[in-house]
Amino acid sequence: MAKKKKKMPGLNTSSTADISFMLLIFFLVTTSMDTDMGLARRLPKPPEPDQEDATMDIKARNILYVRLNAAGQLWIQDEMNFGYADIRELRPRVKEFVKNEQNLSRLPEKHVKNIDLLGQCFVTDKHVVSVQTDRGTPYNIYFQVQNELVAAYNELRNELSKQKFGREYQYLKDEEKLAIRQYYPQNISEAEPKKYGGDK
C-alpha cells in the first residue's frame, strides 16, 4: 500500500478544449442556419359532405379568371376582356380588378362596409380571383402567378395604409392591419366557381 499522499495530482484537462472543439465543429457541420423563406398561402377548408354549391355562385363581374394551360400560357378573363397575357400584365390587371376605383360596372361590385378605424368604406369584398391550372402546368409558372397575385394585394394594402395611417403595411399595429385586410381581403380561389348571369 502506497503512502497516503497529501495532495492529489490534478486531472490533466488540457484535451477538454480539443474535445469541445470537435463537438463544436460537428454541430457546425450538421446544422444549418439558413432561414427558410416562402410564399405563405392558406388552403380553403375541406368541403363539407352536405355542402350546397349555391354558396359558390358568383356574379360574372365579380370573378377574375386566371388560367394556366399545360404549356404554361396565362389566360386572364374578366367580364369584358379575355385573352392570353404576359405575366407582367397580371399584377396591374388584378390591382385594377380588386380596386375598381371608378366603380365601373364591368369590375366587381362595391358595398358599404363598416370597418373599425377606417369607418364607412366602399369595398369590393365580394370579388374572387379564380386560379385554374392544368395538371401539366409547370410549378414555376404557377408559383410566379401566385407571387404576382400576392404582390398585387400587397401593393394595394400598402397604398391604402400609407394613405390612411402614413406608414407601410408591415409597420402597422395589429388592429390597423386587420382594418386594411378587411378593406382588401385576399380572395384567391383555386376551386371552380360556377357563374350565373351572363351567357351560359
Contacts with other proteins by CB under 8 A lie at 13-14, 16-17, 19-21, 23-24, 27-28, 30-33, 35-46, 68, 133-140, 142-144, 146-147, 150-151, 154, 190
Question: How many whole angstroms separate alpha carbon 38 and alpha carbon 143?
Answer: 10
Write down the least CB distance from residue 162 to other proteins, Å. 18
Question: How many whole angstroms separate alpha carbon 140 and alpha carbon 13?
Answer: 56
- Nearer to other proteins by Cβ, of 23 and 104: the residue is 23
Write down the least CB distance from residue 77 to other proteins, Å. 19
Write down the least CB distance from residue 130 to other proteins, Å. 15
Strand order in the sheet with 128-133: 82-85, 74-77, 63-68, 128-133, 188-189
Write down the least CB distance from residue 134 to other proteins, Å. 7
Residue 138 · residue 146 · CB < 8 Å: no
Q: Which of 150, 179, 149 is nearest to 165 (CA)?
A: 179
Question: How many whole angstroms separate alpha carbon 58 and alpha carbon 140?
Answer: 29
- Nearer to other proteins by Cβ, of 41 and 106: the residue is 41
- Nearer to other proteins by Cβ, of 9 and 44: the residue is 44
- Nearer to other proteins by Cβ, of 102 and 140: the residue is 140
Question: How many whole angstroms separate alpha carbon 127 and alpha carbon 25?
Answer: 55
